[in-house]
Amino acid sequence: MRGGRVSRLGRNFAYTSGPVRILVTGGAGFIGSEYVRLLLGKPLGSAEGVPPLEPAAVTVLDLLTYSGNRANLAPVQNDPRLRFVQGDICDPALVDQVVAEHDVIVHFAAESHVDRSIAGAAPFVTTNVLGTQTLLDAALRHRTSRFVHVSTDEVYGSIDEGSWTETWPLAPNSPYSASKAGSDLLALAYHRTHGMDVVVTRCSNNYGPYQYPEKLIPLFVTNLLDGATVPLYGDGGNIRDWLHVHDHCRGIALVQQKGRAGEVYNIGGGTELTNKDLTGRLLQACDADWDRVVPVADRKGHDRRYSLDITKISQELGYAPSIDLDHGLADTVRWYRDNRTWWEPLKSAPTA
């Protein structure tokens, strides 16, 4: 046993809860940093409904590319259980060294912006596929007790009616979502081939504080707060399900502790809106009018609608979203209004 109450049976990897050492890849990013804050007791919302995590130690492995930010970890930076390692998940020697010291891996690190993947797919394939394979190989060597692979609903493609269950065929339409689908399949293959304790989560569109301002909600909010215009793709009729980042991390925590090895769990927010409807809510929240909205040509291969069925995680693990969209958006707008020192340098950086 290594670090916590961990058992291994034959060639299989079995996980039980307890004070374990957790490696969080991409833990300085938007979603990963909220997971670290949740682990260390300073999340954006209530941890109600999540079994006590109580990690013995948490290590963040992050390359600190344009969207990684040490400031995202400021609320927990003085916690003695936290360690930060700057490095690349594609670096086999570093990954091997770090993975050897941990019981559980929660894998967020990824290139994730669709528009950037359309402009150039290579970094997405390298990080999302090769990086995941590098982590999986290290986890296999060191018999990591649980590997939580965090993915996206975009791997399913687009759906006109109904909602995706976890058994829905994958049909990604962008280089980003294709690279994530590849990493999902790799992770599940390591479970089926090697008996590794791997679980995969697929989430709907996240929003909340600390989100890099290239994504829709922080881009619109920060532009509107600055008196600038906002771009609306096509007819604005694309539909997304919106999930507060804190609820997403609550779902991941339940999967980390109680999910079944080899399974996929959808994590959704339960609120579907067209991009035009969402734009209207953001305009109202920022005291702005529709004259600030500029229609732009639609994105290549733009998926029309995403919708996740969350019956499985709700029934098996007791998950339910706790932050409704009205309150979540209001809190998010307030956070960006009050934290200009966080986002203004990001928007003025060359990569923006």
Report which of 143, 105, 104 is spatially closest to residue 18, judged by C-alpha positions: 104
Query: Residue 352 carries which side chain, given as an amino acid letter?
Result: A
- What is the per-residue DSSP string for 108-139? ------HHHHHH--HHHIIIIIIIHHHHHHHH
Nearest to 301 by CA among 114, 109, 123: 114
Catalytic residue among 34, 154, 184, 272: 154
137: annotated active-site residue: no
Largest CA distance in the chain: 65
What CA–CA distance (Å, rounded) separates 44 from 246? 6
- Catalytic annotation present for 176: yes
From 35, 156, 176, 319, active-site residue: 176
**What is the CA angle 91-97-98, rounded to 5?**
90
Catalytic residue flag (residue 153): yes
CB contact at 8 A, 179 and 128: yes
CA dist., res. 92 & res. 131, Å (int): 9
Catalytic hit among 34, 111, 153, 184: 153
C-alpha distance from residue 175 to each of 119, 181, 222, 302 (Å)? 9, 10, 27, 12
Q: Which residues are catalytically annotated? A: 153-154, 176
